[in-house]
Structure 1
Amino acid sequence: MVYESIFDLPVEKQIFYAVLGFSWTVYLWEAYLSYRQRGVYRSTTHVPQELLKIMDSDTFEKSRLYQLDKSNFGFWSGLYSETEGTLILLLGGIPFLWDVAGSVMIRIGFGSEYEITQSLVFLTLATLFSAFTGLPWSVYNTFVIEEKHGFNQQTLGFFLKDAVKKFIVTQCILLPVTSLLLFIIKIGGDYFFIYAWLFTLAVSLVLVTIYADYIAPLFDKFAPLPEGELKTDIETMAKSISFPLTKVYVVEGSKRSSHSNAYFYGFFKNKRIVLFDTLLEDYSPLNKSGEPQPEQPESEDTSNDSQAKPKNKKQGCNNREILAVLGHELGHWKLGHMVKNIVISQMNSFLCFSLFAVLIGRKELFVAFGFNDSQPTLIGLMIIFQFIFSPYNELLSFCLTVLSRRFEFQADAFARGMGKASELCSALIKLNKDNLGFPVADWLFSMWHYSHPPLLERLRALGSIKQD
């Protein structure tokens, strides 16, 4: 019996099996890392000595069980996702869906010469398929995992309406942007990759600018932070470092989840700060005018989707701790982390479009994925950016994770320089407790996945816990 080496196969087959092999290599690596971390969850059943002063045994056990459930769920959902992707490639799912899109085009009176229109039909069908196959996993994660551990605040009706709304909004953005990008590539000539890069840069800047003002409010209620001590202190702190703050909002994240967060956005002299209501101590729902209102008793009628579930009470942060958290966030701005991330992102984008320009003419790339008679531009984008660039994308992702951890330590140090070290430590401990973060991690899992340093490392760097 003669065994055929992969190197004896046609180049199209070599490309296909190399892509498939690398995909499974990444999956197995991720599964191995998760296996190591699950071992930590299972074996670390008692609060480590150095954590006794900041975490009680009950919270430690709750966080351990929550993270264990999330890890087990991640294993099965990851296995399904990898299997689904493999079957799509092996069974020719991509060219099949492209042909279906072509059939739809014929039914509505368009021929194959309308490639951009066919690309939009293909994209719509692909995102519909992804939405339907991912929905059961999302439902299980929200209504089993998050519900079990006290984070979910949604009804099923609210969840489904929200999913439909997200799909519609995504399509309203994705389809016009994709059609314009394909058009630019078609008419751009030899330097189309420069025009395509400039277009995607403009789109990303516009989306970042309008997201919080026009897109996010479609899903969550934003209200100005009421006048008072907290708002005054935030404005004073922003002014002390010349942060061009214009508005401070509170977003009603509690209708979805009791997880906490805070962020800022905006360009140039128009910066806004957003606080999740779950971050605030003794947070309350917001009425239409943006003023806190008392919680209503739970209604026995659960048929109304707009009826909120009882809030899962969290400890929240006091004003001094919120200021410390914002001191960390403002540190990212003052130290130029946002600008650096944008520069890195755009350099990467330009490099990828440049390489795309070199590879798009290679027919063997299309043949490898079942396109023997045509070379659609959208399919070329998918093949090159998603499959051919996958080794590079994995390496870049790891480097950005390392860089992100460095930025987090620097932002913590900035807050410490503002005299907020003890308040930041207290806030980190509270947020870790409220979000059921597990403070013990396998070193390899942490190195590969954690874009934010583990709690213990941050507390040590802030001087709250001494290094052994």
Structure 2
Amino acid sequence: MFSEQEIFYSVLAFLWVVYFWESYLSSRQRYLARTVEKVPKELESVLDQETFTKARLYSLDKSTYGFWSGIYHQIESTLILCLGALPFVWKLSGRIIGQFGYNEDYEILQSITFILIFMLYSTITSLPWSLYETFVLEEKHGFNKQTLPFFIKDTIKKLLVGMALSLPIVSLLIYIIKIGGDYFFIYAWGFMLAVSLFIITIYADFIAPLFDKFTALPDGDLRTKIEALAASIDFPLTKLYVVEGSKRSAHSNAYFYGFFKNKRIVLYDTLIEDYSPPKGEGKDEAKEEEVKEEVKEEETKSEEEPKKKTGCNTAEILAVLAHELGHWKLNHVLKNFFISQLNMFLCFMVFAFLSKEVVIYRAFGFDTQPTLIGLMIIFQFIFSPYHEVLGFIMIIWSRHCEFQADFFAKSLKRTRELKSALVKLNKDNLGFPVTDWLYSMFNYSHPPLLERLKAMDKTD
């Protein structure tokens, strides 16, 4: 068995090895963004020089931001470990609950206090970076649509929702582990499986609407054709929504969710060309009045910016949805869920053995063996090499699924429209299409634009 020092310094060394490796990969991509100033010949039919330059500068700014934020977070993580912040905050949590007449026997209560402290700390320390990213970086390139009041309310809501979800889940998980006996890992996995299914079930109807406005896609040509597309492949579509993503960002997206025969499709309003939200009716008037000032700020901001036509036409949206529905038809979502659950079961099983090793806790400055601390140390640090390998494998798998979904859309005779949509979305999102092969291999869960276009051409 390794000594305390060997465990601690091995973990620390691995964190820095991963950091330097990721920094090296980023530097390769950043070099391309700096040096490739003209549209490469193979991309001349895809991008004009003006859009290419904008995408290049956006990519360069994001990479520079990632460089500095990466250094900060790496140093912060190192200091937290080396200065013994984890055992300090754990003892502080014990002292806090002690003020209310509770002692160390109330481990779950102490764990909740520990989580609250770190959630508040994380929110506060990440705030300057989030503000810069939103109001400087994204603003500079025309993507930010948020006002400062909207951003602050959003941050507070995220913190409160995170607490409302994580605290009871962690409390129950600790309780199950403590009473589960030698085979607690089976019960813990079963509990987390139930939690996963529960979150998936309630997220779109109860959690997502706390942050964004969802409205039914109005009757018309687009709705009719989407319903016809879903029916043609037996997709059990029950609801069709548009999410008001333009209040937050100019980036666009589309997705589907739901279990069994209750599937829903969500389109971002930024995906739909010339989309106008439906007028509010009686029951929405009070809500509209409540956000009147915020809307005014958004409209003023929009008027100050030059109007640019973005989004996809009906045929292109159908092609994008054909790709997304391909993931459903080919069982990619189900397969990914199975992989995640298998991974969770294996992690809990290994945790059951490692959590008994006192030396692991001592390596990080603990003289007791709190369940929450064991989960944090083992899942976050001891499993780091495994997570890195698994993450790389999942990127390869994800790219494979994306190609398959493209070919599914192709089988529905939507190749031309999908290619057109991919090009438009790449332009609208200022995606830099020149990619370093090694950076792409380790970072892009979706194949780069040029690879997808070439792949679809090969089988034409």
**Residue 342 (structure 1) aligned with residue 337 (structure 2):** yes
Deviations 1:305-327, CA, capped at 9 Å, x for gaps? 44313176442100000000000
Amino acid at match of 1:434: D
Name 2:374's counterpart in structure 1: 380
Name 2:311's counterpart in structure 1: 316
Structure 1 position 190, deviation (Å)? 1.2
Describe the shift of the 1:23–1:139 C-alpha distance in structure 2 as closer, same or farther (beyond 3 A): same
Structure 1 position 411, deviation (Å)? 0.1
Q: Distance in 1 between matches of 2:335 and 2:35?
A: 40
Residue among 455, 459, 466 paired with 2:453: 459
**Residue 241 (structure 1) aligned with residue 233 (structure 2):** yes
Q: 2:86 aligns to what SS in structure 1? A: helix
Deviations 1:320-349, CA, capped at 9 Å, x for gaps? 000000000000000010011011000000
Q: Distance in 2 between matches of 1:54 and 1:21?
A: 44
Coordinate RMSD, CA, aligned: 1.7
Q: Distance in 1 between matches of 2:65 and 2:281?
A: 40
Q: Distance in 2 between matches of 1:321 and 1:136?
A: 38
Residue among 379, 383, 386 paired with 1:389: 383
Structure 1 position 284, deviation (Å)? 2.6
What pairs up with 1:229-378 in 2 under 5 angstroms?
Answer: 229-289=221-281, 304-306=293-295, 307-308=297-298, 309-310=301-302, 313-372=308-367, 374-378=368-372
**Residue 413 (structure 1) aligned with residue 416 (structure 2):** no
Q: 2:241 aligns to what SS in structure 1? A: strand
Deviations 1:2-37, CA, capped at 9 Å, x for gaps? xxxxx9xx7001000000000000000000000000
Structure 1 position 53, deviation (Å)? 1.4
| Alignment: residue pair count | 446
**Residue 89 (structure 1) aligned with residue 69 (structure 2):** no
Describe the shift of the 1:314–1:22 C-alpha distance in structure 2 as closer, same or farther (beyond 3 A): farther
Q: Distance in 2 between matches of 1:92 and 1:305?
A: 44
Q: Distance in 1 between matches of 2:99 and 2:279?
A: 49
Describe the shift of the 1:111–1:205 C-alpha distance in structure 2 as closer, same or farther (beyond 3 A): same
**Residue 19 (structure 1) aligned with residue 11 (structure 2):** yes
Structure 1 position 283, deviation (Å)? 2.1
Structure 1 position 286, deviation (Å)? 4.8
**Contact kept in structure 2, 1:459 and 1:465, CA below 8 Å:** no
Describe the shift of the 1:238–1:226 C-alpha distance in structure 2 as closer, same or farther (beyond 3 A): same
Amino acid at match of 1:447: M
Q: Distance in 1 between matches of 2:449 and 2:156?
A: 36
Name 2:288's counterpart in structure 1: none
Q: Distance in 1 between matches of 2:410 and 2:309?
A: 26
Q: Distance in 2 between matches of 1:144 and 1:252?
A: 22
Greater relative contact order (CA < 8 Å, ≥ 6 in sequence): 2
Amino acid at match of 1:353: F
Residue among 58, 73, 80 paired with 2:72: 80
Amino acid at match of 1:379: I
Amino acid at match of 1:141: E
Q: Distance in 2 between matches of 1:37 and 1:75?
A: 12
Deviations 1:284-312, CA, capped at 9 Å, x for gaps? 3454459xxxxxxxxxxxx9444313176
Structure 1 position 464, deviation (Å)? 8.4
Q: Distance in 1 between matches of 2:382 and 2:269?
A: 43
Q: Distance in 2 between matches of 1:289 and 1:131?
A: 37
Q: Distance in 1 between matches of 2:313 and 2:166?
A: 40
Q: Distance in 1 between matches of 2:455 and 2:320?
A: 16
Name 1:206's counterpart in structure 2: 198
TM-score by length of 1: 0.93
Q: Distance in 2 between matches of 1:225 and 1:464?
A: 36
Q: 1:247 aligns to what SS in structure 2? A: strand
Q: Distance in 2 between matches of 1:368 and 1:305?
A: 51
Q: Distance in 1 between matches of 2:275 and 2:41?
A: 33
**Contact kept in structure 2, 1:425 and 1:464, CA below 8 Å:** no
**Contact kept in structure 1, 2:218 and 2:278, CA below 8 Å:** no
Describe the shift of the 1:88–1:398 C-alpha distance in structure 2 as closer, same or farther (beyond 3 A): same
Q: Distance in 1 between matches of 2:49 and 2:458?
A: 20
Residue among 102, 116, 134 paired with 1:124: 116
Amino acid at match of 2:166: L
Structure 2 unmatched runs, 5+? 283-291
Describe the shift of the 1:241–1:289 C-alpha distance in structure 2 as closer, same or farther (beyond 3 A): farther
Q: 2:431 aligns to what SS in structure 1? A: coil
What pairs up with 1:416-431 in 2 under 5 angstroms?
Answer: 416-431=410-425
Describe the shift of the 1:51–1:464 C-alpha distance in structure 2 as closer, same or farther (beyond 3 A): farther
**Contact kept in structure 1, 2:56 and 2:432, CA below 8 Å:** yes
Residue among 435, 442, 447 paired with 2:429: 435
Name 2:396's counterpart in structure 1: 402
**Identical aligned pairs, as a percentage?**
62
**Residue 173 (structure 1) aligned with residue 168 (structure 2):** no
Structure 1 position 463, deviation (Å)? 1.2
Amino acid at match of 1:173: L
The worse-fitting range, judged by mean Cα deviation, of 457-466 and 435-444 is: 457-466
**Contact kept in structure 2, 1:252 and 1:286, CA below 8 Å:** no
**Contact kept in structure 2, 1:413 and 1:462, CA below 8 Å:** yes
Amino acid at match of 1:281: E
Amino acid at match of 2:377: I
Amino acid at match of 2:175: F
Residue among 91, 95, 98 paired with 1:99: 91
Q: Distance in 1 between matches of 2:137 and 2:30?
A: 16
Q: Distance in 2 between matches of 1:231 and 1:289?
A: 20
**Contact kept in structure 2, 1:223 and 1:289, CA below 8 Å:** no
Describe the shift of the 1:440–1:465 C-alpha distance in structure 2 as closer, same or farther (beyond 3 A): farther
Q: 1:273 aligns to what SS in structure 2? A: strand
Amino acid at match of 2:333: M
